[in-house]
A and B are shown apart, each in its own frame.
Chain A
Amino acid sequence: MKAMSQKRTAPVKFDVARVRQDFPILSQKVHGKPLVYLDNGATSQKPLCVIEAIDHYYKAENSNIHRGVHYLSERATAAYESARGKLRGFINARSDQEIIFVRGTTEAINLVAQSYGRTFLKAGDEIIISAMEHHSNIVPWQMLCDQVGAKLRVIPINHDGEIVMEEYEHLLNDKTKFVAVTHVSNALGTIVPVKRIVALAHGRGIPVMLDGAQAVPHLQVDVQDLDCDFYAFSGHKMFGPTGVGVLYGRAELLEKMPPYQGGGDMISLVTFEKTHYNVLPYKFEAGTPNVADGIGLGAAVDYLRALDWPAVAAHEDRLLRYATAALQQIAALRIIGTAKEKAGVLSFVFDHVHAHDVGTILDQEGVAVRAGHHCAMPVMQRFGVPATARASFAFYNTVEEIDLLVRAIERVLKVFD
C-alpha cells in the first residue's frame, strides 16, 4: 500500500540539468551557439564515468585477458568479466554465457546469420524481416539467402510506420525458418510489438532475433520477458564507447552453433588434426577482445541502472510529445513516422527543402541532426522521400533545446522562402 500512495503523489521529477553535468561534451559551443545534440540515434554522448573507466583501465589495468597468470592480467580479466555480468543484468539474461561481446549490432547480426543461418537454413527456406529494418538487419540476411538459397520475405508497414501484424501472420508458414526484426525503428522511432512477434513465431517453432540498437537507450529490455532467441545491441548508442556491443543468445541455441571466427581464446585444445572449441561465451570471441571498451560499457550500464527509469521514461515521453506538437505547428513540415508507440525519434521532411540543406542550416545554429536515409533506404522508398532530417533524443535533452530546434527550422524556412 505504501508504494501505491507514493505513486499518487506528485509526478517524479527528472533533474535534467544535473544529468547534463555528467556529459562533458554537452557544454560546448558549436559555431558560437550552444550545442544542441539531437543525433542520439546515430550515437549517444558518454558520461564522464564511462570516459574515466576507459582511462583508468589503460592507466592501471591494461593487460591481455584470459591468458596471463600475472597480477594485471587477472585484474583486467576480472574487470572485463564483471562488465559481462553487468550486461547480463542489464537485459536480464539467464547467465553470463549468453552474453557475447561483439563489435556492435552489425557484427551480432552477421554472427547469427552466418553461424546459425548457414548451419540450419537451406534452399527454399524463408527468412522474415520487416520493411523498416536498418541495412544491417537486411544485408546479412540477403547474403545468407545468396549462400544457402533461402528467400527473404518482408513484413509491410502502414502509413504511420507500424508493422502490419495481419501481414506478418500471413507470411509465417512452414518454410519460415527465421524471423529478424527491429525493436525500435531508427528512421521512424516506431516501437515494434516484438513480444507478440516472438510469440507468433514460437507458436511455429521459429527462432527470432531482435535488433535492439535503438531500443536499449530508451526502454528497459528484459530478454526473458520478450522470450526472443537473439538480441543485438551496440554500446555506443547506449552511452557507452564505440567498438563494442552485445549479442545475447539463448544458451541452447548458441551451443548448437559453430564458431563465427576462429583464433585464440575460442579454443580449448588445438592440434593439427582437430580443434576443440571453448565453452560459451568464449566460443564466439576469437582473438583479443576490445577489453577497454567492454569495461567502459559496463560503466555505462552502472550509470543507466542508477537512474530513476520511470522518471527517465516520463521525461523522454514529454520531450517527444513536446517536439511532435511543436513541429506539427510548422505548416511546410511533414513528420515521417507517426506510430502510436514511439521512442526518441522525430523524422521530418519539407516539400521544397532537401534534408541535407536542413541539416547544414541547423548545424550553423548549433543543432546537430542527421540528414539522409538513415541506413534505411527501403523506409525512404516506402514513404516516397529521398531522405529525411531526423532529430533523435536522449534523456539529457531538454524542452529548451527543442525550442532551439524549432527556431533553427524557422531559419531554414527563411533561407528557402
Chain B
Amino acid sequence: MSELDDLYQEVILDHNKAPRNFRAISGANRRAEGYNPLCGDQVTVYLQVEDGVIKDISFQGSGCAISKASASMMTTELKGKPESAAHELFENVHNMLTGELDNKGGGSERVGKLAILSGVCKFPARVKCASLAWHTMETALKGEKHPVQTE
C-alpha cells in the first residue's frame, strides 16, 4: 500500500463522510475550542463528565478529512470511558502521531482502533490536523480556559 493509501484508509474516509457524534451537547459540563491557525481548522469538543466518567462526548467544527475523522473516532472511543483512560489515550495517540509510540514502550495495541491513524506520522504537515481534536479534548477535561492552538 502506498503512503497515501495508508493515510486515506476506508475507515478514515467513512468517518470523514459521516462523522459520529457531530453535534453540540447542550449544557455540557466540559467544553473547549481548538484552532489550527496554519490551515484554519477549527473544532469544538463537548464533554459530559459525571463521577469521573465520560458519559457523552461530541464535536463540531470544520477541517480536513484527517482532522474530522480523528475527532469522530476519538468520540466513539472515549464515550463511557473514565477520565484517566482519556488522558492515557491522549498520550498514546500523540506518541503514535509523532511516530514515537514504539520508542516509548508498547505498540499499536495501546491505541486500539485508533492505530488506523498511524499513517499520519509519514506526513509531518498533517500531524497537527490529526492531533487538534485530542489536544482540545485534553484541554476541555482539564478545564483550561484558553483556546487550543496547534501549529
Binding site for B on A (CB under 8 A): 352-357, 360-361, 364, 371-373, 377, 380, 386-387, 415-416
Contact = CB atoms under 8 A, between A and B. Distances in A.
Nearest to A380: B40
Contacts of B101: none
Given A386-B62, A415-B4, A415-B8, A356 B39 contact: yes
Contacts of A356: 39, 41, 63-64, 66-67, 126, 129
B121 interface: no
B42 interface: yes
A312 B61 CA distance: 43
Given A357-B64, A380-B40, A386-B42, 4 more contacts: A360-B4, A364-B4, A371-B39, A372-B39
B3 interface: yes
A354 B69 CA distance: 12
B65 A357 contact: yes
Contacts of A380: 40
B123 to A, nearest CB: 6
A357 B40 CA distance: 13
The 10 A-B pairs at the shortest CB distance, nearest first, are namely: A356-B64, A354-B64, A373-B40, A386-B62, A372-B39, A386-B40, A357-B65, A364-B4, A357-B64, A387-B40
Contacts of B63: 354, 356, 386
Interface string B104-147: 00000000000000000001011001000000000000000000
B93 interface: no
A415 B39 contact: no
Contacts of B65: 353-354, 357, 416
Contacts of B67: 356
B7 interface: yes
A357 B65 CA distance: 7
Contact of B40 (A352, A377, A416): A377
A350 to B, nearest CB: 11
B13 interface: yes
Interface of B: 2-4, 7-8, 13, 17, 38-42, 62-67, 123, 125-126, 129
B62 A360 contact: no
Contacts of A415: 4, 8, 13
A144 B55 CA distance: 49
Given A353-B65, A386-B63, A361 B40 contact: no
A352 B8 CA distance: 14
A360 B123 contact: yes
12 contacts: A352-B17, A354-B62, A354-B63, A354-B64, A356-B64, A356-B67, A361-B4, A364-B4, A371-B39, A372-B38, A380-B40, A415-B8
Nearest to A361: B4
B40 A372 contact: yes
Nearest to A31: B3
A360 B40 contact: no
Contacts of B39: 355-356, 371-373, 387
Q: Which of B39, B125, B126 has the most CB atoms of chain A within a 10 A radius of its CB?
A: B39
A172 B49 CA distance: 55
Nearest to B3: A364
Contacts of A352: 17
B7 to A, nearest CB: 7
Nearest to A372: B39
A373 B42 CA distance: 13
A355 B38 CA distance: 12
Nearest to B62: A386
Nearest to B17: A352
Chain B CB within 10 A, most for which of A353, A354, A361, A373: A354
A415 B1 CA distance: 14
Nearest to A415: B8
A416 B13 contact: yes
